[in-house]
Structure 1
């Protein structure tokens, strides 16, 4: 799909009228899509787990943060590349702090600034709260080119502060490499085939797995033994294992324990087997 160009005020008005940067949940349309900014390096288009639509991410760090958000029990909506509109508000902030407001390259058109993530987060009392997150590598905040980056982040911070929305910066220091590797693996197993999505089967699976915790076998060996006892294929046993971890029916320290089939079975705690189980693949 061909990317869009922002070369005039008419372009911006057209994109606004076409619904870019508007909506919520599955109906939200990011202001910027991967194909609109091909020069921004590693990018990703990923089908959502929490939200049923394609997410447009412009860096590995944004992908990592999406994984963290989707794994959270509290994040109920994720809107990436969210526009700071109306521009007049952002431009007024820039003027008030003596910062040059950005323009589109090779034009005199003021840029529509964006926030990397706008999240809807469930609060302990059941209410929802909106939070804004800028995703930046640490080097972008401390390197030679950081001054301009920090100026634009200050515009962004004040824009959301004026609306009573909490804003913050997320860097690669906020999560471990192991956590992101684990979530990338587990995310492939968020749904079970109908024949495996059975509470009795899952309960038996966990019982057998718990019984094997005392033995010095690798995770792969343990899963093979469980598969044999339950007349499952090894691939089905792996799928169930990762599924149970993703949905927190069994809990593991994912931030500090890399899930490897060749490593010992990690320490885990059984939480629940049915309360949060989603629909099977074939029932969607």
Structure 2
């Protein structure tokens, strides 16, 4: 699918009338899509698990943060590439700060600025709230060449602050490479055959897994022993192990330790009660 044209006011009006940057949940349409933005191979489209639609992620860092948001129990909706509309509000903020509002490349048409993620979250009191998060590599925020980037971020910040929406920058310092790799793996097992998720199967699996803790065996060896005990295949045992980590029935260190079958079974906590608990990964939000 071809990228869209952004050269005239008519182009912007047409994209707005076509619903880009509008909606919520599965009906949300990102203002920018992968095909609309020049890429060096780091953008991707990802079918959502938490929100049943295609998400458009424009960098590896955005993908990493997206995984954290999907895994978080506090995030209930993820809207990426969210436009700062109406532009008049953002332009007014820029003018008040004495900053130049950007135009579309090779055009005098005011640009439609975007925020990487607009999230609907559950607040500590149980109510719903909205937070805005911009994702940037730390290297993009330092040095003279980053001056214009920082100016545009100031405009974005004031746009959201004027609406009472919490806004901040997320960098790669907010989560580890191991966390992103682990969540990318676990996400593949977020949905497994229903027969494996029956309560009796899950309880038997967790009890067996607990019984094999403390032995000098690799994760693969333990899961093979569990499979034999429960009369299921090793592949099913491995899938259920990852599924239960993603769904918070097994809690372990996802931030520092890679999930590899050839490594010793990590220290883990089996959660009997499925009520929500805070995860160490929440700090990245």
TM-score under structure 2 length normalisation: 0.94
Paired residues of 1:199 and 1:273 also in contact (CA < 8 A): no
In structure 1, stretches of 5+ residues that fail to align are: 277-284
Partner SS, residue 196 of structure 1 = helix
The 1:40–1:103 alpha-carbon spacing in structure 2 relative to 1, beyond 3 Å, is farther
Residue in 2 that maps onto 1:272: 272
Unaligned runs of 5+ in 2: 277-285
Contact 1:133–1:170, Cα closer than 8 Å, also in 2: yes
SS at match of 1:145: helix
User: For residues 153 and 274 of structure 1, what CA distance do their matches in structure 2 show?
Assistant: 40
Given that 1:40 and 1:58 are in contact with CA atoms closer than 8 Å, whether structure 2 keeps it comes out as no
Change (3 A) 1:74 1:23: same
Is 1:6 the counterpart of 2:6? The answer is yes
Structure 1 segment 106-185 matched on structure 2, within 5 A: 106-185=106-185
Correspondence for 1:97:
97
Q: Give 1:17 shift.
A: 0.6
Shift of 1:39: 3.5
The answer on whether the counterparts of 2:251 and 2:269 sit within 8 Å (CA) in structure 1 is yes
Q: How does 1:239-254 map to 2 (within 5 A)?
A: 239-254=239-254
Which residue in 2 is equivalent to 1:15?
15
In the alignment, the residues of structure 1 paired with residue 249 and residue 154 of structure 2 have an alpha-carbon distance, to the nearest angstrom, of 41
RMSD over aligned Cα atoms: 1.3
CA drift of 1:145 comes to 1.7
Offset of residue 100 of structure 1: 1.3
Structure-2 change in CA distance of 1:72 and 1:177 (3 Å):
same
Secondary structure in 1 aligned to 2:55? Answer: strand
Change in CA separation of 1:13 and 1:40 when aligned onto 2, cut-off 3 Å: farther
Structure 1 partner of 2:279: none
TM-score (norm 1): 0.95
Residue 144 of structure 1: CA displacement? 3.9
Q: Which residue of 2 aligns with 1:281?
A: none
Structure 1 residue 273, shift from structure 2 partner: 6.8
